[in-house]
């Protein structure tokens, strides 16, 4: 651990870090463009200049390129270093257009920040600027090459980190151009990260162009609901409309990046057809009345069809709060069946996984990145967990062989990240034992649950890709409370009343059920079939918890208040001439709170909050922390 | 489209290379010789022969100044504008060439014979000022010698064109 002095502050730097990182560790930000924590250094922008006053190296140096060494005395404020940085930024700004007012990056632009930080305020250059022709890069990303400062971050991410081969850097010297051979949609499933990683406005999110400025955003730490990986994100909203999704760093999960599916998937939260008011037989009503009607009709079903004719159905997208309260709701209305999922196969796979996983044998994304051999078992990671593909590539870059096992592991998935892989038929063929840090990524859509025993004996760490963002949490609760898959419950023919809580149940499964009620924020088949509908808050409209594939419980925070987006309000009724605290359509509770209200109405004892007993430790999860790994609590032999 | 024979020859060249990429410049130069410049079609064909994407070929094609991604004359003149040649009269040489040909730097003569381009060092600093016409390097140039060379090259090109008819 080298000891050095930076701006009169004694710093003990970690082994191998640069002077720039050492300075950062004590709160000194040295301007930088080409250096990025996930990509390392390039020495391309020259803006991180510092002066070394004493020690093994002296004079002006690039702090990102220089490893922190014992005895260094570094000054970031030395007049020579300050002057150099000012000249470099002035030179970088020579060709940069003065278009900040019409640039989507304005306000969240690293180039703006560091131009000011380097002390360049007045442009002296009066010559013509170099200009470029932009490309059409598809529906998600805008291209504005004139803003480019040639830091190479985009191409280093796209080609080296993500293995893309259709975007790169062309030309040389003053005519360097970042783009494709010709216009066309970027092929990498991680292309959206160009928006995050570009220090200025060359790449901006086309889906949210010209909608809001950074200081107007509603933002909060959140977790992506796209799959079971649980990438950390910052959703950005304005006027109760979700505008865009930005990656949020969590080194234990997604690192700095997210996939395009998570970023650009259609935002159901904004769907105009979303259930926004409680309905009883299609008639708008208040929530209390709807809950009363729901309980009354469930009573009628029980009376007519007898004990145990009611099923309560959750899902793998229901937050852990909701999933935890589901058994209490089932008890309060004397339900005969509790389901966390639909299919028996999926349920077998999930229960097989949770009874195999332990704290020791479960794999995180970091374990995948550091693996020396990776087997992808019966999975197309593009569907089941795209970010794992990016992690697999990092391991492959360090030399780990990649094995694709089974007929549902297509070769195309690894081509998208530019890696080679060997295809095998059976898990038993994978020579995992000869490696030190093997990892198996097991798909659960097509995987045979019996393979879990093979994996358990293999000595490899295992990542099981559960369905849905809370598949792992739902499976743990399902095991704890004896849940059964809905298909199985319906097959017995006893279910005559069904309460779907954020559950996607196809219409054909509902056809034989006389009474259906739905608590949801999506317009699902269950909502359409339901006699009683109670809207719930979407994930960005409430706090909640998802337990990701590895069993990491992660808290997400409310980004915006529930309510009708301003653009959906009738302009003729504006401004509203009544006084109210909540926005129009804002009287919506998260599903777990609706369930608590129902339990109260049913006359049962109401829990203080969603988590109690062995789940109480989830109450204090920090949304900005790394989450808490809870896997292994269902292991049969423990 | 390039002849099948050329394609097969280039595929053999690629097969003999340790990595495909190292054969890229050879392939691009051969296709450039075939088309007169590296056309978009040529980039697609190079990519196919090399097993690379068009973008990967374009990255190399646009980096090297002797791969031409726009139409050029029969002889491309590269006049060095690097430091040694500049100190030895490279600027006057370039001005003289432009004046003699009646075109600006980066342009092609109306008869399609010459394209005039600046170039960053031909590795011939000891003979500065220096330039390259087609594949031939010339050093210790003055305006008289340069004019004479242009006449010789023009005559040679005319001869080739006659012969080609």
Cβ–Cβ below 8 Å for B62 and A167: no
**What CATH number did the domain enclosing B38 receive?**
1.10.10
| Residue of chain B whose alpha carbon sits nearest to that of A159 | B56
* Tokens representing residue A411 in the block: 């070769």
Q: Show residues of chain A in contact with B57, CB under 8 Å.
A: 181
What confidence tens digit (pLDDT) does each residue in A603-635 have?
A: 999 988 899 888 999 999 999 999 999 988 766
Q: Show residues of chain A in contact with B53, CB under 8 Å.
A: 165-166, 181
Residue A542 has pLDDT above 60, yes or no: yes
Nearest Cα residue to A117 out of A76, A154, A67, A65:
A76
**CB-closest option in A168, A171, A177 to B56:** A168
Q: How many residues does chain B have?
A: 165
Mean pLDDT over A566-570 rounds to 84
* Tokens representing residue A71 in the block: 């005895």
pLDDT over 90, % of chain A? 87
Any domain includes B146:
yes
**CB-closest option in B52, B59, B65 to A169:** B59
B159 and B79 part of one domain: yes
Mean pLDDT, chain A, integer: 94
Do A271 and A523 form a contact (C-beta atoms < 8 A)? yes
What's the gap in Å between the CA of B9 and the closest CA on chain A?
26
**Reported confidence tier of residue A420, pLDDT bands at 50, 70, 90:** very high
| Residue of chain B whose alpha carbon sits nearest to that of A155 | B59
Domain A278-342+473-553+579-624, CATH among 3.40.50.740, 3.40.50.2300, 3.30.420.40, 1.10.3720.10: 3.40.50.740
Vertex A561, ends A556 and A562: CA angle to 5°? 100
Question: Within 13 Å and on the Cβ side, how many CA atoms surround A250?
Answer: 31
Residue A187 has pLDDT above 80, yes or no: yes
Domain ranges of chain A: 3-92, 100-270, 278-342+473-553+579-624, 347-468
**What is the per-residue pLDDT for A115?**
95
* Tokens representing residue A14 in the block: 């970690």
**Reported confidence tier of residue A314, pLDDT bands at 50, 70, 90:** very high
pLDDT over 70, % of chain A? 99
What's the gap in Å between the CA of A167 and the closest CA on chain B?
7
The tokens 């990491």 sit on which residue? A552
Mutate to test the interface with A, among B58, B64, B65, B66 (most CBs of A within 10 A): B58
Fold of A3-92: Ubiquitin-like (UB roll) (3.10.20)
Q: Show residues of chain B in contact with A188, CB under 8 Å.
A: none
Cβ–Cβ below 8 Å for B55 and A165: yes
| Residue of chain B whose alpha carbon sits nearest to that of A184 | B55
**What is the per-residue pLDDT for A126?**
92
**CB-closest option in A167, A170, A180 to B62:** A170
What does the H/E/C string look like for A222-247? EECCCCCCCCEEEEEEECCEEEEEEE
Q: Cα separation of A67 and A90, whole Å?
A: 27
Question: In total, how many domains does chain B have?
Answer: 2
B25 and B102 part of one domain: no
Strands A222-223 and A232-238: antiparallel
What's the gap in Å between the CA of A182 and the closest CA on chain B?
8
Any domain includes B68:
no
| Residue of chain A whose alpha carbon sits nearest to that of B69 | A171
What's the gap in Å between the CA of A169 and the closest CA on chain B?
6
Q: Cα separation of A186 and A254, whole Å?
A: 21
Contacting B with CB below 8 Å, chain A residues are: 165-172, 177, 180-182
**Reported confidence tier of residue A153, pLDDT bands at 50, 70, 90:** very high
A vs B: CB pairs below 8 A: 30
B32 and B100 part of one domain: no
Cβ–Cβ below 8 Å for A165 and B56: yes
**What is the per-residue pLDDT for A634?**
67
Any domain includes B50:
yes
Q: Cα separation of A213 and A108, whole Å?
A: 8
Cβ–Cβ below 8 Å for B53 and A182: no
**What is the per-residue pLDDT for A511?**
92
What's the gap in Å between the CA of B139 and the closest CA on chain A?
26
**Reported confidence tier of residue A584, pLDDT bands at 50, 70, 90:** confident
Residue A36 has pLDDT above 60, yes or no: yes
Asked if the bond preceding B129 is cis, omega within 30° of 0, the reply is yes
Give the CA distances from residue B74 to residues A204, A432, B114, B132, B138, in Å, rounded to whole numbers and listed in that order: 43, 61, 6, 13, 18
Cβ–Cβ below 8 Å for B62 and A165: no
What spatial distance separates the first Cα and last Cα of chain B, rounded to whole Å?
Answer: 22
Cβ–Cβ below 8 Å for A169 and B58: no
**From A391-405, A498-512, A604-618, B22-36, the region with the lowest mean pLDDT:** A604-618
| Residue of chain B whose alpha carbon sits nearest to that of A174 | B63
**What CATH number did the domain enclosing B93 receive?**
3.40.30.10
Nearest Cα residue to A198 out of A179, A183, A180:
A179
Q: Show residues of chain B in contact with A170, CB under 8 Å.
A: 58-59, 62-63
Cβ–Cβ below 8 Å for B62 and A172: yes
User: Is the Cα dihedral A160, A161, A163, A167 positive or negative?
Assistant: negative
Do B117 and B106 form a contact (C-beta atoms < 8 A)? yes
What's the gap in Å between the CA of A172 and the closest CA on chain B?
5
Q: Cα separation of A548 and A227, whole Å?
A: 8
Q: Cα separation of A16 and A4, whole Å?
A: 13
**What is the per-residue pLDDT for B163?**
74
Mean pLDDT over B31-58 rounds to 97
**Reported confidence tier of residue A638, pLDDT bands at 50, 70, 90:** very low
B10 and B43 part of one domain: yes
Vertex B5, ends B1 and B10: CA angle to 5°? 85
B99 and B133 part of one domain: yes
* Tokens representing residue B141 in the block: 């140039």
φ, ψ of residue A79 to 5 degrees: the values are -55, -35
Mean pLDDT over A450-462 rounds to 87
| Residue of chain A whose alpha carbon sits nearest to that of B63 | A171
The tokens 């793998």 sit on which residue? A316
What confidence tens digit (pLDDT) does each residue in B84-136 have?
A: 999 999 999 999 999 999 999 999 999 999 999 999 899 999 999 999 999 99
| Residue of chain B whose alpha carbon sits nearest to that of A181 | B55
Cβ–Cβ below 8 Å for A166 and B63: no
Cβ–Cβ below 8 Å for B55 and A171: no
Q: Cα separation of A231 and A223, whole Å?
A: 6
Q: Show residues of chain B in contact with A182, CB under 8 Å.
A: 54
**From A277-286, A347-356, A574-583, the region with the lowest mean pLDDT:** A574-583
The tokens 């949020």 sit on which residue? A248
B160 and B82 part of one domain: yes
Helices assigned H by DSSP within A310-403: 320-332, 344-356, 365-369, 381-384, 386-397
Q: Cα separation of A168 and A156, whole Å?
A: 9
Do B139 and B124 form a contact (C-beta atoms < 8 A)? yes
* Tokens representing residue A66 in the block: 């220089």
Would you call A497 helix, strand, or coil by DSSP? strand
Q: For A347-468, CATH number?
A: 3.40.228
Cβ–Cβ below 8 Å for B53 and A169: no
Q: Show residues of chain A in contact with B62, CB under 8 Å.
A: 170-172, 177
A607, A613, A615, A617: CA torsion to nearest 10:
100
* Tokens representing residue A168 in the block: 């790169």
Q: Show residues of chain B in contact with A177, CB under 8 Å.
A: 62
Any domain includes B137:
yes
**What is the per-residue pLDDT for A516?**
97
**From A194-203, A320-329, A600-609, B29-38, the region with the lowest mean pLDDT:** A600-609
Asked if the bond preceding A575 is cis, omega within 30° of 0, the reply is yes
Give the CA distances from residue A420 to residues A401, B54, B91, in Å, rounded to whole numbers and listed in that order: 8, 20, 51
Cβ–Cβ below 8 Å for A165 and B43: no
Mean pLDDT over A475-487 rounds to 95
Cβ–Cβ below 8 Å for A172 and B55: no
Contacting A with CB below 8 Å, chain B residues are: 43, 52-59, 62-63, 65
**From A56-60, A135-139, A426-430, A453-457, the region with the lowest mean pLDDT:** A453-457
| Structural domain harbouring B55 | 4-63
Query: What letters, b where the CB count within 10 A reaches 16 and e where it falls short, cover B108-125?
Result: bbeeebbbbbbbeebebb
Any domain includes B70:
no
**What is the per-residue pLDDT for B165?**
54
């Amino acid at each position: 651990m080298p000891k050095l002095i930076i701006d009169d502050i004694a710093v003990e730097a970690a082994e191998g870090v640069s002077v720039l990182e050492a300075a950062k560790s004590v709160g000194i930000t040295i301007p930088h463009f080409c250096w990025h924590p996930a990509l390392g250094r390039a020495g391309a922008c020259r803006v991180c200049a510092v002066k070394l006053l004493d020690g093994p190296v002296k004079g002006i140096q690039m702090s990102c390129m220089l490893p922190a060494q014992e005895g260094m005395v570094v000054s970031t404020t030395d007049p020579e270093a300050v002057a150099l940085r000012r000249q470099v930024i002035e030179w970088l700004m020579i060709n940069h257009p003065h278009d900040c007012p019409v640039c989507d990056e304005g306000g969240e632009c690293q180039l703006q920040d560091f131009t000011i930080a380097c002390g360049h305020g007045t442009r002296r250059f009066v010559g013509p600027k170099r200009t470029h022709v932009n490309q059409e890069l598809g529906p998600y990303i805008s291209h504005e090459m004139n803003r480019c400062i040639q830091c190479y971050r985009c191409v280093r991410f796209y080609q080296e980190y993500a293995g893309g081969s259709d975007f790169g850097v062309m030309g040389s010297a003053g005519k360097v151009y970042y783009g494709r051979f010709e216009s066309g949609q970027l092929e990498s499933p991680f292309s959206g990260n160009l928006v995050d990683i570009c220090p200025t406005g060359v790449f901006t999110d086309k889906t949210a162009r010209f909608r809001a400025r950074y200081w107007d955003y509603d933002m909060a730490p959140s977790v992506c609901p796209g799959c079971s990986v649980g990438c950390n994100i910052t959703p950005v909203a304005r006027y109760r409309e979700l505008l865009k999704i930005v990656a949020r760093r969590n080194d234990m999960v997604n690192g700095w990046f997210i996939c395009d599916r998570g970023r650009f998937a259609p935002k159901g939260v904004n769907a105009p057809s979303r259930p926004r008011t409680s309905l009883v037989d299609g008639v708008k009503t208040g929530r209390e009345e709807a809950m009363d009607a729901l309980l009354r009709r469930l009573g009628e079903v029980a009376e007519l069809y007898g004990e145990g004719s009611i099923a309560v159905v959750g899902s793998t997208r229901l937050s852990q709060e909701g999933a935890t309260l589901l058994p209490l709701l089932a008890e309060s209305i004397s339900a005969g069946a509790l389901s966390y999922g639909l299919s028996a196969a999926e349920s077998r796979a999930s229960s097989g996984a949770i009874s195999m996983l332990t704290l020791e044998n479960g794999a995180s994304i970091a374990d995948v990145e550091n693996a020396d051999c990776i087997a992808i078992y019966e999975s197309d990671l593009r569907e089941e967990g795209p970010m794992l593909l990016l992690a697999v590539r990092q391991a492959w870059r360090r030399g780990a062989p990649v094995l694709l096992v089974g007929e549902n592991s297509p070769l195309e998935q690894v081509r998208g990240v530019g890696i080679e892989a060997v295809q095998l038929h059976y898990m038993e063929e994978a020579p995992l034992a000869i490696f030190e840090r093997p990892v198996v990524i097991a798909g659960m859509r097509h995987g045979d649950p019996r393979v879990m025993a093979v994996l358990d004996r293999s000595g490899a760490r295992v990542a099981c890709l559960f369905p849905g963002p809370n598949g792992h949490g739902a499976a743990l609760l399902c095991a704890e409370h004896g849940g059964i898959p809905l298909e199985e419950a319906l097959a017995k023919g006893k279910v005559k009343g069904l309460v779907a809580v954020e559950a996607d149940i196809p219409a054909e499964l509902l056809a034989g059920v006389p009474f259906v009620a739905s608590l949801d924020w999506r317009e699902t088949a269950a909502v359409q079939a339901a006699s009683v509908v109670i809207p719930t808050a979407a994930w960005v409209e409430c706090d909640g918890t998802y337990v990701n594939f590895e069993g990491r419980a992660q808290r997400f925070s409310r980004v915006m208040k529930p309510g009708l987006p301003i653009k959906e309000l009738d302009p003729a009724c504006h401004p509203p001439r009544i006084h109210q605290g909540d926005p129009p359509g804002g009287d919506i509770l998260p599903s777990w709170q609706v369930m608590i209200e129902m339990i109260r109405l049913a006359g049962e004892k109401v829990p203080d909050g969603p988590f109690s007993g062995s789940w109480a430790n989830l109450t204090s999860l920090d949304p900005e922390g790394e989450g808490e790994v809870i896997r292994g609590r269902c292991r049969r032999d423990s | 489209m390039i002849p099948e024979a050329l394609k097969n020859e280039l595929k053999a060249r690629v097969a003999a290379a340790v990595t495909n990429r190292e054969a890229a410049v050879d392939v691009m130069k051969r296709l450039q010789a075939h088309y007169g410049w590296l056309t978009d079609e040529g980039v697609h064909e190079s990519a196919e022969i090399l097993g690379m994407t068009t973008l990967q070929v374009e990255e190399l094609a646009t980096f090297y100044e002797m791969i031409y991604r726009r139409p050029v004359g029969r002889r491309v003149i590269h006049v060095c504008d690097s430091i040694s040649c500049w100190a030895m009269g490279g600027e006057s040489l370039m001005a003289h060439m432009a004046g003699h040909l009646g075109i600006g730097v980066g342009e092609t003569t109306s008869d399609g014979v010459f394209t005039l381009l600046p170039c960053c060092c031909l590795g011939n600093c000891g003979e500065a000022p220096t330039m390259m016409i087609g594949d031939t390097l010339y050093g210790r140039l003055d305006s008289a010698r340069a004019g004479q060379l242009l006449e010789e090259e023009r005559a040679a090109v005319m001869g080739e064109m006659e012969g080609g008819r």
